Amino acid sequence: MTYLLILAAIAAVGLRAPVEAPRTPVLVELFTSEGCSSCPAADAVLEKLMREQAVENAEIVPLSLHVDYWNRLGWRDPYSSKAYSTRQQQYTKIFGDDKLYTPQVVVDGRDEVVGSEEDAIKRTITAAASRPHLALKVTARPVPGSVSLAIDLPAAPEGEAIDVLVALTEDDLSSAVIRGENKGRTLTHVAVVRKLQTLGSLERDAFVAEGRITIEPAWKPSKMRAVCWLQGRSSSRVYGTASVSVSAR
């Protein structure tokens, strides 16, 4: 009887699921536009990366930033913002003036890739996830007219100033495009950045930052996420990222 119990115990241990190694959150920014004919393919790649999370060592944290410089060519992208065009322009200080285009993916603020090249993006994410990152945590909950946030921030490491940024994103958005390069197409999007703010910078000691970000009545909190990341002010390097569903309890 004892022998059988031992065998049963060994078998039970053997059936246990292996413990999955923790994934490193990696920020993946897609600069895109509904006025750009090559962008829908990149939008589809971003959605696939987000839903499948198929890069083994990484938690892919996507941002879809719709630039506004395509708006003059016949179709005004309803999700576009001058602020997102400015953010992309700032990356030319890192990548060079010839690296301003759509669709463009920027991974952890350090590497840029053509937004429709899925395999290249995955390789870049894998490399990014292997680098050290600072840990942080964000919680978010919807309140009337806004989203309430609490962010557990680490102490600032020595070196450059590190800014704390937060974005609210929304999934499952779509547009029926009636003009421009994508005329006649219905385009779908995930991780569309609705708001992007800089909250300040890391301090000598760890602390919890709290606040609220206002939202528009048409936005759906059940489809939204809060994304927070730490970005070097001079290098643009992303030191750490966290995200959470706004509807999470």
Query: What CATH number did the domain enclosing 205 receive?
Result: 2.60.40.2060
Residue 7, in any domain of the structure = no
Q: What pLDDT score does 22 carry?
A: 87
Domain count, the chain: 1
pLDDT at position 16: 59
Report residue 60 as tokens: 């892919």
Q: pTM for the whole thing?
A: 0.91
pLDDT for the residue 247: 77
Pairing of strands 207-214, 192-201: unpaired
Give bridge partners of residue 212 from the DSSP assignment.
148
For residue 65, give the nearest of 73, 77, 51 by alpha carbon: 77
Instruction: Give residue 237's identity as a one-letter amino acid code.
Output: R
pLDDT of residue 198: 95
Residue 134 falls inside a structural domain: yes
**Measured between alpha carbons, how far is 151 from 141 in angstroms, rounded to an integer?**
12
Is omega for the bond preceding 157 within 30 degrees of 0, making it cis? no
Residue 46 lies in a domain: yes
The pLDDT of residue 19: 60
What stretches in the chain show pLDDT beneath 50? 1-13, 17
Beta-bridge mates of residue 227: 167, 243
pLDDT the model gives residue 10? 40
pLDDT at residue 248, as a whole number: 53
| pLDDT recorded at residue 162 | 98
pLDDT at 106: 98
> How far is it, in rounded angstroms, from Cα 14 to Cα 6?
12
pLDDT for the residue numbered 6: 41
**pLDDT of res. 81:** 98
Domain around 123: 24-245
User: Does any domain span residue 101?
Assistant: yes
Q: Tokens for 200?
A: 């300040």
Give the pLDDT score at 63. Answer: 98
